Amino acid sequence: MYSLSSAIDAFPDVKVLIIGDLMLDRFTYGKIERISPEAPVPIFKVVSQKEMPGGAGNVATNLRALGCRVSYVGLVGNDAEGSTLVNLLKGSGVRTHLVRPENFPTIVKNRLIAGSNHISRVDREGTVPDLSENLPFFLRAFRRLAKQADIVLLSDYGKGLFTADNTPQLIEICRELGKRVIVDPKGTDYSKYTGATLVKPNLKEFTEVAGRGLFDPKAPDFHERLRIAATELIDRYHIGNLLITLGEHGMALVSAEEPTRVRQIPTRAKEVFDVSGAGDTSLATLGAALACNAPLPQAMHLANLASGIVVGKVGTATVSADELRDALRADDRGSVSSRSPERKIMSLPQAENFIAELRRKGKIIGFTNGVFDCCHMGHLSSLLEASKTCDALVVAVNSDASVRRLKGEGRPLQDEATRSLLLASLEYVSCVIIFEEDTPMEVVKALRPDVLAKEGYTIDRWPEAQYARQYGAKIVTLQRIGNYSTTNMIDRIR
């Protein structure tokens, strides 16, 4: 089973190539204390200013903040702002391969901010020059760098870099080299993205390209309407996946491999201060996770967490690998450890849904079972050791009827409700299931845990482990500590 924490650890080994529209994001912070006597407008008094790469440059700096190795191909004006951008990118460790045409002003977006409120945005941009002369340079540099990359990201801000001529050539180069290409699109002409591995519009952009009425995430038919429109685009342009970001409603995936299904995950933002660059952070994290071979649903989850972090910051911001690790741990605690003991006790169908959600987050599922009639140090030690083999531990408990069949009419001493609640009260137990059969085979077949761990059983005496080994589960025989057993405890009490 894939672990997202392992993916974050692997980010420093990831090589990402970005091509996209580059711009300078300028944040001018100040105060508003009075209204102008010249016109009924507030007077903005400048206090400080901050500059950072924007557009595709923000994708690049987000990838560097995560620890990835990043190369960038693009163009920037041959002016002071362009030089600032180049220095900012190089200073963050991005390898740049740039064309700097004359008479092309670097795109600048200047945001005026008072406190944490955006007052206005002042943009400067010109028309992208004819790239036909520079196209051979672009394609040569792109092919050379794509060969070395683990994944390629196209960040289209609609500023003229991606044309109907050059974009298909870039994607075709990726296909020839066997490289996945992820596109953050712009505009309604998706023909230029034909053959992309994944295209990631926001809901407004998706609505425009789908040519339909507004898609309301709260509507009961939202998934079906989204699926129909997405599969039409997937089929028309041979796109592998459409990932639609939904703002406060998270993100939704429709895949060519599963055209009848919509996967939607909720947003993770706690408090929103600024959405500037959130899409760039999402693209960067998604690309980094996929480059580490994370399954797409789990890469979505990581990208969603990163977006939730960055919108809690003011200005175009990045997310570090440590911040992402902390968010992953907090999310785990929120979904598992913070559950009340009563909520950890589940029926098998409830457990299947719970485990499916954990798997979407890249969690390794462990499993053990027993009667647990009188919890003692032997039980606690076994459960603790079992929990170390996985991210979430499922404990299957024999029902009262099952215990009587196995151990006689005098057992159990404690009923199944008590035994289950005691186990569920342990922080390192994620889920407790009561089973009626003599063995937990049906539970194992339904949940297909990644690790089976049990004290004292070798695999030849352990049918569930024999079954689980066939589908690739890890089998762990735990060591018994001391002479602890419920039977011995009962004999001593007597």
Residues involved in catalysis: 280
> Is-contact 89 53, C-beta < 8 A?
yes
